Amino acid sequence: MADLLRLSVSPHIHSGRSTAGIMRDVLIALAPTAIAGTIIFGLRSLLVIAVCVASCVIFEALFNIITKKEQTVGDLSAALTGLLLALNLPSTAPIWQCAVGSFFAIIIVKCLFGGIGCNLVNPAITARVFMLVAFGSMAKPAFPTIVDTVSGATPLVNMANGNEAPKLTDLLLGLKGGAIGEVCAIALIAGFVYLLIRRVITWHIPTAFVGSVFIFSLFAESFDFTKALAMILSGGLLIGAIFMATDYVTSPATPAGKIIFGVGAGLLTFLIRYFGVYPEGVSFAILFMNILTPYIEAWTARKVFGGKKS
């Protein structure tokens, strides 16, 4: 066979980018957040993370075996879904709930719709919303063993009750109640910078999302910068805007579409926070915008160079 030459159509080289590589980068970008969460909320955070990651990977592997599909856990997307789900839960979340949430994310939201690339909504976000509704999973927030996301005395609830905005340094460092991965703004922003440098995501969605929440809050708080700033540093906004709203599968691919998606999610988050029953609305906002994504993409399709004006 030594003198046979391989024939194929061009191109004959590849950039080396891969799905697994992209997922690995997002996992790396989330590492500071996971570490910060563990320091802030204690070692039980690690247990929540381990259970979610392991169960997501195992559920996907089993699904592929049972349905005789090609094994896809190697693309690391299931592991990423598990990590994102864990980071959206309080460190006190019961283990069995973690497993049920993982099942919902991987099997119901992802695999049953055809696996990676075919899901309509973000698995981790949808599972978080499911757990919120089914178990009231954010009802008993964890507080820093050194606080929770949706209720009690998280910053958002405090502010909703008319209390003073918390200290900015506490918000930046994550010394507040909430889910494992949503409190430490510095770690999340470090992850954002990493993803930008690695060109995994673009600035459009996170900036439009966080920016619009900031501007809407600024108006609502009669231009109190500190409060508006506290609004964007509280709750699940940063992790949502940076890591969940930027999921390729469920967000628009066009730059203009990304801006619309970000601003839409920002507006919905603001409306839910200020006028809704729930103090936090990031998950609902992303979920809703996920559903609008195909329409946004169609509206903002790139004009073909030299093509007729559409």
Partner 1 sequence: MSFFLKGVHVPHRKSTENKPALRLPVPKTVTIPMAMHIGAPARPTVKVGDNVKVGSLIGEATGAISAPVYASISGKVTKISEIITSNGSKVPAVTIESDGEMLRDEAVCPPSVKSREELVEAIRKSGIVGLGGAGFPTYVKFNVDPAKIEELIINGAECEPYITSDTLTMTERADDMEYALKEIKKYFGIKRVIIGIEANKKKAIASMKALAGKLEGVEVAVLPTLYPQGGEKVLIYHTTKKTVPVGKLPIDVGCVVINCTTLASIGSYLRDGMPLTEKCVTVDGGSVKEPCNVIAPIGAPLSALFELCGGFTSYPEKVLYGGPMMGIAVPDIDAPVLKNTNAVLALTEKEAKLPKTTACIRCGSCTNNCPFGLAAAEILLAYDKKDTERLKALSVEACMECGCCSFLCPANRPLVQTNKLAKILLKEEKAKEANKNG
DSSP, collapsed to helix, strand or coil, labels residue 109 as: helix
Q: Which residues contact 128 (CB under 8 A, 6 or more apart)?
A: 85, 88, 89, 101, 137, 283
Q: How far apart are CA 106 and CA 128, in angstroms?
A: 12
Structure tokens at 263: 């601003």
121 torsion bin: left (phi>0), alpha (psi -120 to 50), beta (else): beta
Whose CA is closest to 140, among 153, 123, 128? 153
Q: Which is nearer to partner 1, 75 or 280 (CB)?
A: 75
Q: Report the residue number, 6 or 68, with the smaller CB distance to partner 1.
A: 6
The answer to whether the beta carbons of residues 90 and 179 sit under 8 Å apart is yes
Reference 122, options 16, 14, 205; nearest CA is 205
DSSP-derived secondary structure for 195-262: HHHTTSS-SHHHHHHHHHHHHHHHHHTTT-HHHHHHHHHSTTHHHIIIIITT-TTTS-SSHHHHHHHH
Of 161 and 303, nearer to partner 1 (C-beta) is 303
Handedness of CA 273, 243, 209, 123 (dihedral sign): negative
- Sequence-separated (6 or more) residues with CB below 8 Å from residue 153: 141, 143, 147, 177
Shortest separation between residue 17's beta carbon and partner 1, angstroms:
4
Nearer to partner 1, 7 or 66 (CB): 7
Nearer to partner 1, 68 or 308 (CB): 308
For the bound state, the minimum distance from the C-beta of residue 116 to partner 1, rounded and expressed in Å, comes to 5
Q: From the CB of 297, what's the least distance to partner 1, in Å?
A: 9
Binding site residues, partner 1, CB under 8 A? 2-3, 5-19, 21-22, 72, 75, 77, 115-118, 248-249, 252-255, 301-308
Distance CA 237, CA 228 (A): 13
Q: Which is nearer to partner 1, 194 or 278 (CB)?
A: 194
Cβ nearer to partner 1, comparing 110 with 176: 110
Six-digit token string for 135: 């178990």
Provide the minimum distance between the beta carbon of 198 and partner 1 in the complex, in angstroms, as a whole number: 12
**Cα(107)–Cα(90) distance, integer angstroms:** 22
Question: Alpha-carbon distance 197 to 178, whole Å?
Answer: 28
